Structures are given as C-alpha cells and as structure tokens.
Amino acid sequence: MRGDANSTQIRVLDGAALRALSTELNSSKYAIDAHNRSIGELGNLSELPKLCSLDVSFNKITSLRNVSTARELRELKIYNNKLTNTIGLKANSSLEGLQMNDNQIEQISGDFLALGRLKNLWLNGNQIASVQNLRGCKLLVHLDLGRNRLQGAVSESD
C-alpha cells in the first residue's frame, strides 16, 4: 500500500490498502468502497479472492490492467476516472454490473466477448464512436451509451 488508507488519498490501490479499508474481510464475500481517494493505479487484487464488489469511482485510474486479478468480482464501479480503453476485463467473467461511464474510452475492446454474465453496463459519457464486441454479453438487460460519439444505427451483429 502506498499512502495511508485512512487518509483521503491512496496512490496505488493494492491488497494492503484494500485490507485497511475493509473491516469485514473475514466474511464469505465482501465489497470495498474506495471512491474519491485520488487513486491513480489499481495494484494486484489477487490477495482478495472473495472481493465481489469494488467501487473506485471518482479517482484518477488510467488502466484496468490489474482488475483481472479479482476473479470473483461481480460489480465494478470505475466511473469518473481517466480510462481510455476497456482492455483488461477478459478474466472477469463473473462481472454482472460494470459502470465505466464518464471516462475517456474510445472503443469497446474484445475483452467484452468474455463477459457472458454481464447484465448492466454503463458506458455513457465517453468518446465511443461505434458499438462492437458486445455480442458475448447475452444476459445484458441495461446498456447506457448516451453522451458518446455514436452515429447511425446499431445492428444486432455488433
């Protein structure tokens, strides 16, 4: 952990920082809220195998690189950050809810093809110009693509 978990700023969110933020890590599954802490990077989350929900919204995160180490993650709130792509989600096949709105994402990566359990997806407020790679999300019931650069119709094959 870099930074004091009790302060408002944590530069790198890793297992040690997450353990310091949570008081219920001994439960069967747990959620961690680390929103608005000036986090710039997600560290290795593999030390938290029971993590099912993570809120890192309103931070400065630029990459999803280490999200894949949280394999049981069912809900990820990573909105209002500095993400430019969605690469790094392929191993998170348990995801059911994903909030990536209000970032700087330009396209939907092929990693979404592996998200077969995804039910709710927020990608509004990004820079997305075309919709691709969502055909693997067969359980999707909520999709928000508002405030993007989309033009024209979206076909089912996309």
- pLDDT by residue (tens digit) across 88-117? 999 999 999 999 999 999 999 999 999 999
Per residue in 139-148, pLDDT (tens digit) is 999 999 999 9
CB 71 within 8 A of CB 49: yes
Query: Which strands sit side by side in the sheet containing 75-77, from one edge to the other?
Result: 30-33, 51-55, 75-77, 97-99, 120-122, 142-144
Name all domains of the chain by residue range, CATH numbers in brackets: 9-150 (3.80.10.10)
- Listed in order, strand segments (DSSP E) in 19-152 are 30-33, 41-42, 51-55, 75-77, 97-99, 120-122, 142-144
What pTM, to 2 d.p., does this model score? 0.84
CA 72 to CA 27: how far, in whole Å? Answer: 14
User: Which range, of 46-50, 77-81, 147-151, averages the lowest pLDDT?
Assistant: 46-50
